[in-house]
Every structure is written in C-alpha cells, then in structure tokens.
C-alpha cells in the first residue's frame, strides 16, 4: 500500500507542476496580448552602460552612437583616458544630437573632461541636448558651448530631469 501512495504523490506532484507552468504561460500570454511590446521589452531589459571612447562627431564609440543605441534605463559615460578631467576634450558637432525621449537615461561626464561644442551646426535654433518627454533624465558634468538656442532644451512633458554636477 505504501508504494501505491508514493506513486500517487509523485503523479500528483507532476500534475501540480504542469498546472503551475500552464497558469504561468496563460498569464504571460495575456500580458503580452494586452500590453504593447515596448512594455514587454522594458520588463525584460538589461540596462547598459555605453562608454564614449571617441571625440569624433559620429561613428563607433561616439556620444552620437551611444545616444542612437541607448534604451530606457541606460547610462552613457566618458572614458577618462580619452577625456581627461584635467585637460577637457571637445566634441564638435556638425548636426544636432539625437533627441532624448526615453526614461531613466543618465549622461554622466562628471569624472571626465568633456566640452560639447555646437559652433559648426548650421541650424538657427540648435540645442546641445534635446530632452522631450523623458522622465528622470540626468545630465552631469558636460560643458556645453556655442549652441544658438540652448545648451540643454527641456521640452514640455519632460519630468524629474536632473541637470548639473560639474567638478568645480
């Protein structure tokens, strides 16, 4: 009789495991059908840290490329070997940088020497950083110069932005 009860418990345990897996699959499927894909991506996203390793305007390792590649929750930093804090390096832009419309973005140059220069942009109203609708965007340590409109433009809908953090 004992062997028979053990077999029943094993079978019951297997059925419970299958039931839990089935319920989990149904819940995930329901969530996927009722939620947009951006929410699903955010739920499973791994925040990345992009290190800017080039003072060029565009291409691999640049601020522009990091901004094109970033997703909500990511951080952009600057390599101090390329951007030493005691001898700041200038990134001279030819066109405006991509607009930041993502949440929880950090652009942190507080340990580096970075000058963002807009003197070569041919727009009448150029801005160094355009932040539109992002929540909790943080910008630290950048020296932003020579833009015809604003160094940092916080558009309507931007909330909880933190700007500042120079080393002086």
Give the residue from 78, 128, 76, 74 showing the smallest Cα distance to 103. Answer: 74
Query: For 2-11, 100-109, 136-145, which range has the lowest pLDDT when averaged over its residues?
Result: 2-11
pLDDT tens, residue by residue, 129-145: 999 988 999 999 999 99
- Which is it for strands 138-140 and 114-117: parallel, antiparallel or unpaired? unpaired
The mean of the pLDDT values for the chain is 83
Q: What is the pLDDT of residues 57-91, one digit of tens each?
A: 999 999 999 999 999 999 999 999 999 999 999 99
pLDDT, tens only, 33-44: 555 555 555 555
Closest CA to 113 of 90, 139, 141, 85: 85
């Amino acid at each position: 009789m004992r062997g028979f009860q053990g077999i029943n418990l094993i079978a019951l345990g297997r059925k419970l495991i299958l039931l839990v897996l089935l319920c989990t699959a149904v819940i995930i499927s329901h969530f996927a059908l009722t939620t947009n894909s951006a929410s699903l991506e955010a739920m499973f996203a791994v925040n990345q840290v992009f290190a800017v390793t080039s003072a060029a305007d565009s291409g691999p390792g640049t601020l522009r490329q990091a901004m094109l590649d970033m997703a909500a929750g990511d951080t952009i930093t600057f390599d101090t070997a390329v951007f030493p804090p005691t001898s700041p390096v200038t990134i001279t832009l030819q066109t405006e940088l991509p607009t930041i419309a993502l949440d929880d973005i950090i652009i942190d140059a507080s340990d580096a020497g970075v000058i963002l220069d807009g003197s070569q942009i041919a727009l009448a109203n150029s801005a160094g950083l355009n932040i539109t609708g992002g929540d909790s965007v943080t910008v630290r340590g950048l020296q932003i110069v020579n833009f015809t409109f604003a160094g940092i433009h916080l558009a309507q809908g931007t909330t909880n932005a933190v700007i500042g953090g120079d080393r002086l």
